[in-house]
Structure 1
Amino acid sequence: MVSRKKELPLQMVVNNQELWEEVLCSRGLIVVDVYQCWCGPCKTVISLFRKIRNEHGDDLLHFAVAEVDSIDALEKYHGKCEPTFLFYAGGELVAVVRGANAPLLQKTIVEQLEAERKVLDHGAERVVIQDEAFLQEEENTAVEEEGEDEEENEGEEDKAD
């Protein structure tokens, strides 16, 4: 009887904080499809990921799906309803792609994989980012709070008059 080669899953399933921290320690580039339990991971990109894996056949490229509802570190993604792909290298966020945009995903994966090779092979500096969407939210919150403070101050000044 011929034995079949056991096929490894394309994407690791990350469903708790401990596993999340373990995945971030992986060597290479990790592409994480973050999702919520009511929405599920993006199924349309599976064939793209498989194609990229076959083309590059690289041990430095890893794919994962992570449920934001069960991972504390992903709490800020809770309540977002568009597909979001986070790219991690060396435990740090290096890129974000929003939406199931296959050409952009492929371009980002190839670019980030090449950048990670340069970091690991030649000691190049890794470019770490912060998710711009959350920086904008923080700025908007700060502006709103400043506006509320100014309104309170104006109200106090009116009372003093």
Structure 2
Amino acid sequence: MAAKKKEVVLQININSQELWEEMLCLKGLIVVDVFQAWCGPCKTVVDLFRKLRNEVGSDLLHFAVAEVDSIDALEKYRGTCEPVFLFFAGGELVAVVRGVNAQLLQKTILEQLAVERKVLEHGGERMVVQDGAFSREEGHRAALQAEQGEG
């Protein structure tokens, strides 16, 4: 009689600030699907992630789903239903993909994984990014405050 295969968890489920902080400590590239509790994570990318995990076979590639309603660090993502994928390496945000574009997701994952391998093997620097939604929103807020201060 054949032994049952142990099912490997593809995506880590993050639903608290403590789990979020633990996840950021993982070595390698972490691709996080951030979602609202009412709509759930993006299920259409699971097959792509599984395919990439099988092809790459790296212990440096991690996938996670994170519920923004229960994680303080993701507060600015609350209230939207557009799929957002955050890429973290070394605890830093290194890329963001908005929407479900399988080709762009695959390209970004492979590129960022290659960069992370170089960083870990040769001690290079990571290119940290700011999420565009944050900078636009904060820039708009700063402009409003400047207008109110002048008037």
Query: 1:13 — aligned with what?
Result: 13
**Residue 159 of structure 1: aligned partner:** none
Would you say 1:92 and 2:92 are equivalent positions?
yes
Query: In structure 2, what is the equivalent of residue 141 of structure 1?
Result: 141
1:40-65 alpha-carbon deviations (Å, 9 max, x no partner): 10001001101111110110000000
- In the alignment, structure 1 residue 115 sits paired with structure 2 residue 136: no
Q: What percentage of residue pairs aligned between the two structures are identical?
A: 70
Query: Which secondary structure does the structure 2 equivalent of 1:126 belong to?
Result: coil
* TM-score, reference length from structure 2: 0.97
Report the AA paired with residue 140 of structure 1: H
2-side partners of 1:3 and 1:38: how far apart?
A: 38
State how far apart, in whole Å, the 2-side matches of 1:134 and 1:101 are.
21
Paired residue for 1:157? Answer: none
Q: Following the alignment from structure 1 to structure 2, what is the Cα–Cα distance between the partners of residues 118 and 36?
A: 34
Deviations 1:60-90 (A, max 9, x none): 0000000000011111111122000000000
Counterpart residue type for residue 12 of structure 1: I
Please tell me the residue identity of whatever aligns with 1:64: A
**2:61 partner letter:** L
| Higher mean C-alpha displacement, 30-39 vs 126-135 | 126-135
Gaps of 5+ in 1: 154-161
Greater gyration radius: 1
**Which amino acid is the alignment partner of residue 16 of structure 1?**
S
| Residue 58 (str. 1) matches residue 58 (str. 2) | yes
Q: Which amino acid aligns with 1:62?
A: H
Could you tell which deviates more after superposition, 73-82 or 105-114?
73-82
Alignment partners' CA distance in 2, 1:17 and 1:143: 31
Unpaired runs of 5+ residues, structure 2, are: none
Structure 1 residue 142: Cα displacement: 1.0
Counterpart CA distance in 1 for 2:138 and 2:73 is: 17
Alignment partners' CA distance in 1, 2:133 and 2:19? 25
1:130 corresponds in structure 2 to 130
Supply the AA of the counterpart residue of 1:59.
Answer: D
Taking the aligned partners of 1:100 and 1:135, their CA distance within structure 2 comes to 22
Tell me which residue corresponds to 2:37. 37
The amino acid that maps onto 1:121 is E
Other-structure match for 2:106? 106
